[in-house]
Chains A and B, each alone.
Chain A
Amino acid sequence: SQKIEQNSEALNIQEGKTATLTCNYTNYSPAYLQWYRQDPGRGPVFLLLIRENEKEKRKERLKVTFDTTLKQSLFHITASQPADSATYLCALASPNSGYALNFGKGTSLLVTP
């Protein structure tokens, strides 16, 4: 069955460092992958989208890579700040799933001053 795995353990890093979050998937051939941020009690907020034919995407301090051979996406936040503390979700979609997103369970990031 299709599976999307994100590190369930919280990631604690110091302010100013680069945070790297991982999203691995199996039994899946996604056409594109998205990353979202979710704060407690709020809906997810869209951050970045990367397509299967793209290796890397950047937006300000954020960078996403997509390796369809390794079946893995890495999400980087450079110069992290305490305000970056949140849960980060990856979501995949394939042509077979239409416009439905299949979400990982998210990784909690805590950035300490």
Chain B
Amino acid sequence: KAGVTQTPRYLIKTRGQQVTLSCSPISGHRSVSWYQQTPGQGLQFLFEYFSETQRNKGNFPGRFSGRQFSNSRSEMNVSTLELGDSALYLCASSLAGTGEIYGYTFGSGTRLTVV
């Protein structure tokens, strides 16, 4: 079956611009999470959605936002981009519902470069 699909794979933006990243989870997975990965900080949790509701949010400024659609596809948006937002943004989907915990399937990520 198809894996987690993230688009675009690479993106170059200018400081102050905004960006929208897209994620299509594995069919049947209703939980979608987003992570930021940088060499210095490693993988850091941004937010998690389940059935169009944000269930958890990491310690990131309000410039980072997301949403999930009824087909479980998710988008994240970063407004007023800063140089420090340059990172690999990873989306992960899971069967996690309410109670049971499963492993996450990650996409290949979107490499965002802010110049």
Q: How large is the interface on A (under 10, 10 to 19, 20 to 34, 35 or more residues)?
A: 20 to 34
Q: A43-B92, A105-B42 are in contact. Are A99 and B106 (CB under 8 A)?
A: no
Q: How large is the interface on B (under 10, 10 to 19, 20 to 34, 35 or more residues)?
A: 20 to 34
CB-nearest residue of chain B to A49: B103
Q: Which residues of B contact A106 (CB under 8 A)?
A: 42
Distance A102 CA – B105 CA, assembled complex (angstroms): 15
- A45 at the B interface (CB under 8 A): yes
Q: How many Cβ-Cβ contacts under 8 Å join chain A to chain B?
A: 64
Residue numbers of A with Cβ under 8 A of B are: 31-32, 34, 36, 41-49, 51, 89, 91, 93, 97-106
Interface-centre pick from B35, B44, B94 (highest chain A CB count, 10 A): B35
Interchain residue pairs A-B with the least CB separation, the first 7:
A43-B106, A46-B103, A103-B43, A105-B42, A98-B56, A100-B45, A100-B56
Residue numbers of B with Cβ under 8 A of A are: 4, 31, 33, 35, 42-45, 48, 50, 55-56, 58, 90, 92, 94, 96, 101-109
